[in-house]
Amino acid sequence: MVRIYHKLTSNDALLLLLIALPGILHFLIFRYVPLLGNVIAFQNYNLFAGMADSPWVGLKHFQNMFTYAEFYRILRNTMLLSLYSIIFGFPAPLILALLLNEIRQKWFQRPVQTLLYLPHFLSWVIVGGLFVNLLSIDGFLNTILGSLGLANRDFLTIPEYFRSILVSIGIWKEIGWGMIIYLAALSGINPSLYEAAMMDGAGRFRQMWSITLPSLLPAITVLFLLRIGHVLDANVEQVLILLNPLVRDVGEVIDTYVYRVGLLGAQFSLTTAIGIFKSLVGLILVVGLNALSRKTTGESIY
Amino acid sequence: MPAYRSDRWFSFINGTFFIVLCLTMISPLIHLAAVSLSEARYANAKLVYFWPKGWNTEVYSMILGMDNLWRAMGVSVYITVLGTLISLVLTSTIAYALSRPSMPGRKIVLRGIVVTFIFSAPLIPNYLLVRSLGMENTLWALMIPGALSAFYVIIMKTFFQGISSEMFDAAKMDGCSEWGIYARVAIPMSLPVIATIALFHAVGQWNSYFNALLYIRSKDLLPLQVLLRNLVMEEQASNMASSAEVSLVMTPEMLKAGITLFATLPILIVYPFLQKYFVKGASLGSLKE
């Protein structure tokens, strides 16, 4: 024992391996073993028989998935939610950072930032509670609308509003946080660029267009690529907390479906097939757009 | 800077915009506080806006007497502190080893980690793994599987590599083993990045409820967020508050508001102290490999 210990501690390479070992094992067990666990999508997985004894069924679950009307509904919901949150949610922190950067008074900027970051630190349960309180039939918003003589509505149960509300709340919670990276990039821009531009007679918007935005382009590209890779991952903690039976048709996404039908309903194999489909779409998009971006802008995430 | 008239208008509108935006961030919380502290008849008549009408702290004495709320808070503190420690040990050790040129198999391990960044297994296989490891219905299920993330490992590894290699060489000359360099040089010199990652992990751990929903069955092990979800979203509070004896002094809305604020309080208390770390940390996140 003592000799082994001595050998281990005197050899740098071995010792480094030893130091890294817990982390490596963690990655193997908790990231790679579940990837192998994907095989249950090709089985009729039975919780009691286990992976080894469950019968193999080939691609049956994938075929079922594509003939299944419910699948298109949740796929559509997921894509629409994601699309809205990319169109409206992705540029929002960038615009906010640009606007905040135009405020030169530090005494004003600091407290504003503090308040804008705050919602990021509240859990989705709390944020959900806040907005249910705000939007329900006897909630605060209806109190105000009522005093203006407008009709009372239970906003969170109206299918036409649900996606917009979901996306807006997401933006509300993360907009301040999202702008931090842009603010950091903004503070790294060489001020002499602006001085030179002003000498040449460039106004505020011309400076923004010709100096600020190009300087932010690397950050924008990387953040966008990372976002695209998660195009089919709805924020399950958010959707689950705001979803209710009245809006299930428009609000249920892949992740909440897998939780409800797969886990609570014990449809392990079918929902794993759906999960694999989701991961593959994300992977293809990231790899494809990454290659495209490397060719066009020279920026890439790997 | 020349002060054109249009510039001054822009600044004015811009400033106003930010004031309004800040109000939307803070006003829901203020409204909840006002509702929870009002008298039931005003709250019921929807007459409370941002200042309590009447004065009534009954809601809070009820909350302070809720044993399950205190227990859940204890669970949350426990998993946050221990979970963050586990995460820091795992992250810093593997990141340190990967930052050293003499680490064998460095490239392969690094690639293996980056792969997990873009490709991850769906929910069900993860659930089955945790189950088969016997972690279901234990607090380990909330702390161990999420303890390491590729993102934090790469940030920390980049930081270690930024420390001047002369520091490491000098320690080596003085007879330090790699273990000693890790503990006595690398860790003390990277406290800012460690604090940042600790903060991010702790916030995530404190706020998450989905994992507990998946893995925790026993009522005694429910973290605060899950209990809060049951109380605030699933009408349990309404049942409590509408029991005859309390309905005269509080409405279900008042109780929900109070519970929500109570659960927000820990974050609001530590928040100002954390700010200087997380701003620095979030920009660290923009580092590339």
* Per-position pLDDT tens, chain A of length 302: 666 666 655 688 899 999 999 999 999 999 999 999 999 999 999 888 888 889 999 999 999 999 988 999 999 999 999 999 999 999 999 999 999 998 888 899 989 999 999 999 999 999 999 998 889 888 888 888 888 888 888 899 999 999 999 999 999 999 999 998 899 888 888 889 988 998 988 888 888 889 999 999 988 988 888 888 788 888 899 999 999 999 999 999 999 999 999 999 999 999 999 999 998 988 888 888 888 888 887 777 76
Both tokens of B284, joined, read 């660290």
Please tell me the distance from the alpha carbon of residue B269 to that of residue B206, in angstroms, as a whole number. Answer: 14
Which among B10, B122, B209 has CB closest to A237? B209
B122 CA to chain A: closest CA distance, Å?
5
Residue A238: closest CA among B259, B21, B232, B209: B209
Please tell me the distance from the alpha carbon of residue B195 to that of residue A180, in angstroms, as a whole number. Answer: 18
Q: How big is chain A, counted in residues? A: 302
CB contact under 8 A, B260 and A302: no
> Which residues on chain A are in Cβ contact (under 8 Å) with B148?
23, 26-27, 30
Q: Is the ipTM of this complex over 0.95?
A: no
Rounded to two decimals, the pTM is 0.90
Interface test with B, best of A9, A19, A264 (most B CBs within 10 A): A19
B260: nearest CA partner in chain A: A126
pLDDT in tens, B127-139: 999 999 999 999 9
Question: Exposed, middle or buried by CB within 10 Å (0-12, 13-18, 19+), for A45?
Answer: buried
Confidence of residue B288 (pLDDT cuts 50, 70, 90): very low
CB contact under 8 A, A99 and B14: yes
Assess contact for B207 and B142: CB atoms under 8 A: no
CB contact under 8 A, B120 and A31: yes
- On average, the pLDDT of chain B sits at 88
A184: nearest CA partner in chain B: B283
A3 CA to chain B: closest CA distance, Å?
16
